[in-house]
């Protein structure tokens, strides 16, 4: 088993706390690395190092900062295969899926190359006689990101690329379940010309997170993970005076209207529900066919497709999806399937017994399909985060819309229809942050922003796109008048410019 490290001040630093967790190779079930869990003192060292590096980094002009990202994008292109191999090995997703994840991360780094333009302030010439007003965006200082296991490359890049482009230094606390790829990314940023200390990686668990949340020198926290932890990080971070944005769990619905192209809808559903084993915050986990005839047709077509899904090791190019992240998570997902049966839902496809020949200790299960799921059931209310799709039958458009609106999560949603009016009304009225119209996983592109509503997001500014520049900078507004322009004496009334 390899012992991993922290990455501080541009070099690998051995863990000193004496505490470790294990990371696995889900396709074989083997423990492959010992992950050091940082103590408060180790986190403090990383923060102090990042603070010292930030002062010089903020003084580097934005075009030069952008050039580091340009080079980074090139280097990631060169290292794509190696990065995908590390990612897929630790996470379990297929290599093709890993490549897709890397691409979606790179696109945010590409967006951030525009930082000289994105950070520009405003200017008003002669707001009053001889008085100019302008605003500027300045970096916050040291900021931190706490990221989940399911996108160990993309989400760290969504966070550190804009933060660093804006002149901050960044401390990444990746998931302790697959930290190999994020550690590699930090080395690639160094190779791209980033000064040591501007991107530090500390591995750890709650102790490291609390140290980041409570340290006065950390000015902002970006979190992605499950909702209970998101809520904790949001309130605890805010209580310590930080700017915080936290993205949480999801239960994404896909509404299938009676006029939908059923072949297209079924293809979309199978990919969006079972891709990456359902371990995506934008996975569709609830299908809502409208009308009994639509529901019967949908389930009849889905059943054989789910039975025939190809589950395999991440290295198998013909696999639709791979194993789940850990044995504990696999058991949790299987427990949810048992619960669904107990709750009275109809289990049409049961993938719990799936065994991968030659990989008997891997964390595999096949796809599961439930029909006749009811809104009061826990399998509907809670996020399962596995290859399990629930069909909830709705009588009409309004009932389908209410299902999505009444659910506590509001990350992504989709509607399949040929009716432009229905689609338009759905997009306008649905209480969800990201909406697809005949698009199953409406993950916004890098130059838009990403974020859910309700209990899928705590905070106000979204991830990536223009919101990221706002999140990672503070605005300063300057009113300036030069001595030659001062022609009156002191004024004691509230200044107005008109
Ligand atoms: P998680 O909440 O278990 O962990 C996320 C991060 O928080 C990790 O770095 C972990 O070390 C840390 N953490 C865990 N428990 C903590 C605690 N008690 N105190 C402080 N820190 C703690 O999430 P996960 O299992 O790694 O990721 C899956 C979850 O992330 C799912 O709920 C998924 O929907 C969500 N997710 C959301 C988005 C989004 O954009 N909304 C994107 C990806 C994943």
DSSP code per residue over 166-220: TT-EEEEE--TTS-HHHHHHHHHHHHTTPPTTSEEE---SHHHHHHHHH-TTEEE
Residues of the chain with CATH 3.40.605.10: 2-248+456-478
Residues 337, 347 contacting (CB under 8 angstroms): yes
Cα–Cα separations (whole angstroms), residue 249 to 235, 334, 344, 377? 17, 19, 25, 18
Residue 24's pLDDT is what? 98
In the chain, DSSP finds a helix count (H) and a strand count (E) of 16, 23
Question: Is any ligand 1 atom within 6 A of the Cβ of residue 176?
Answer: yes
CA of 175 to the centre of ligand 1 (A): 8
CA of 135 to the centre of ligand 1 (A): 36
Residue 487's pLDDT is what? 61
Cα–Cα separations (whole angstroms), residue 430 to 322, 361, 411, 463? 33, 43, 11, 20
pLDDT in tens, 76-104: 999 999 999 999 999 999 999 999 999 99
Name which CATH class applies to 252-437.
alpha beta
Rounded distance, CA 393 to CA 372, Å? 6
- Specify whether 246 is catalytic: no
Q: Residue 278: helix, strand or coil by DSSP? A: helix
- What's this model's pTM, rounded to 2 decimal places? 0.96
Residues of the chain with CATH 3.40.309.10: 252-437
Rounded distance, CA 131 to CA 54, Å? 33
Residue 486's pLDDT is what? 56
Residue nearest to atom 22 of ligand 1 (CA): 206
Question: Is any ligand 1 atom within 6 A of the Cβ of residue 226?
Answer: yes
Q: Which CATH architecture has domain 2-248+456-478?
A: 3-Layer(aba) Sandwich (3.40)
Half-sphere exposure of 422 (CA within 13 A, CB side): 20
Token pair for 411: 């990350």
Q: Which atom of ligand 1 is nearest to the CA of 210?
A: 20
pLDDT in tens, 168-207: 999 999 999 999 999 999 999 999 999 999 999 999 999 9
Rounded distance, CA 180 to CA 5, Å? 9
Rounded distance, CA 284 to CA 367, Å? 13
CA of 225 to the centre of ligand 1 (A): 2
Give bridge partners of residue 477 from the DSSP assignment. Answer: 135
Question: Is any ligand 1 atom within 6 A of the Cβ of residue 224?
Answer: yes
Residue 9's pLDDT is what? 98
Residues 152, 178 contacting (CB under 8 angstroms): yes
Residue nearest to atom 8 of ligand 1 (CA): 175
Cα–Cα separations (whole angstroms), residue 210 to 6, 146, 384? 17, 11, 26
Token pair for 445: 């592109």
Rounded distance, CA 193 to CA 190, Å? 5
Helical pair 180-191 and 80-91, crossing angle rounded to 10 deg: 160
CA of 31 to the centre of ligand 1 (A): 21
Residue 496's pLDDT is what? 78
- All residue ranges of the chain with pLDDT < 70 are 485-488, 497-498
User: Please, what is the end-to-end C-alpha distance for the chain in angstroms?
Assistant: 71
Residues 54, 195 contacting (CB under 8 angstroms): no
Choose the residue to mutate in 20, 181, 226 for probing ligand 1, maximizing ligand atoms within 8 Å of C-beta.
Answer: 226
- ipTM given for this complex: 0.99
Output phi, psi for 16, to 5 deg: -115, -5
Residue 314's pLDDT is what? 96
pLDDT in tens, 109-149: 999 999 999 999 999 999 998 899 999 999 999 999 999 99
* Active-site annotation holder among 166, 246, 281, 368: 281
Rounded distance, CA 476 to CA 90, Å? 43
Residue 485's pLDDT is what? 56
Question: Is any ligand 1 atom within 6 A of the Cβ of residue 201?
Answer: no
CA of 236 to the centre of ligand 1 (A): 15
């Amino acid at each position: 088993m390899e012992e991993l490290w922290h990455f501080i001040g541009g070099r690998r630093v051995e863990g000193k706390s004496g505490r470790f967790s294990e990371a696995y190779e889900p396709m074989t079930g083997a423990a492959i690395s010992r992950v050091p869990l940082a103590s408060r003192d180790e986190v403090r060292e990383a923060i102090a190092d990042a603070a010292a590096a930030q002062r010089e980094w903020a003084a580097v002009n934005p075009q030069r900062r952008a050039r580091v990202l340009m080079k980074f994008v090139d280097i990631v292109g060169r290292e794509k295969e190696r990065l995908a191999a590390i990612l897929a090995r630790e996470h379990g997703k297929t290599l093709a899926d890993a490549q897709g994840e890397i691409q979606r991360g790179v696109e945010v780094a590409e967006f951030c190359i525009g930082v000289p333009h994105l950070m520009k302030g405003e200017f008003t010439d002669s707001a009053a006689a001889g008085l100019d007003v302008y605003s500027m965006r300045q970096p916050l200082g040291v900021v931190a990101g706490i990221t989940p296991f399911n996108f160990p490359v993309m989400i760290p890049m969504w966070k550190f690329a804009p933060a660093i482009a804006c002149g901050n230094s960044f401390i990444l606390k990746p998931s302790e379940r697959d930290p190999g790829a994020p550690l590699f990314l930090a080395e690639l940023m160094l190779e791209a010309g980033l000064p040591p200390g501007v991107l530090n990686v500390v591995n750890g668990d709650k102790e490291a997170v609390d140290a980041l949340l409570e340290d006065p020198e950390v000015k902002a926290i970006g979190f992605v993970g499950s909702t209970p932890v998101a809520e904790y990080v949001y309130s605890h971070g805010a209580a310590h005076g930080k700017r915080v944005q936290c993205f949480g769990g999801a239960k994404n619905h896909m509404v299938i209207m009676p006029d939908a192209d059923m072949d297209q809808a079924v293809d979309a559903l199978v990919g969006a529900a079972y891709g990456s084993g359902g371990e995506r915050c934008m996975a569709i986990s609830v299908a809502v066919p409208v009308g009994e005839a639509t529901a019967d047709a949908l389930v009849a077509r889905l059943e054989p497709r789910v039975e025939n899904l190809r589950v395999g090791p991440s290295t198998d190019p013909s696999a639709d999806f791979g194993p789940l992240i850990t044995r504990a998570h696999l058991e949790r997902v299987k427990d949810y399937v048992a619960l669904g049966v107990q709750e009275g839902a109809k289990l049409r496809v049961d993938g719990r017994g799936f065994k991968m020949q030659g990989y008997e200790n891997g964390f595999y299960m096949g796809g599961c399909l439930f029909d006749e799921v009811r809104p009061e059931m826990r399998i509907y209310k809670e996020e399962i985060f596995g290859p399990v799709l629930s069909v909830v039958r709705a009588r009409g458009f309004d009932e389908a819309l209410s299902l999505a609106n009444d659910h506590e999560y509001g990350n992504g949603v989709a509607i399949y229809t040929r009716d432009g009016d229905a689609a338009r009304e759905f997009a306008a009225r649905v209480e969800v942050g990201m909406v697809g119209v005949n698009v199953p996983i409406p993950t916004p592109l890098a130059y838009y922003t990403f974020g859910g509503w309700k209990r899928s997001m705590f905070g106000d500014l979204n991830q990536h796109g223009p919101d990221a520049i706002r999140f990672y900078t503070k605005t300063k507004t300057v009113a300036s008048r030069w001595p030659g322009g001062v022609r009156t004496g002191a004024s004691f009334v509230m200044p107005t410019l008109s």
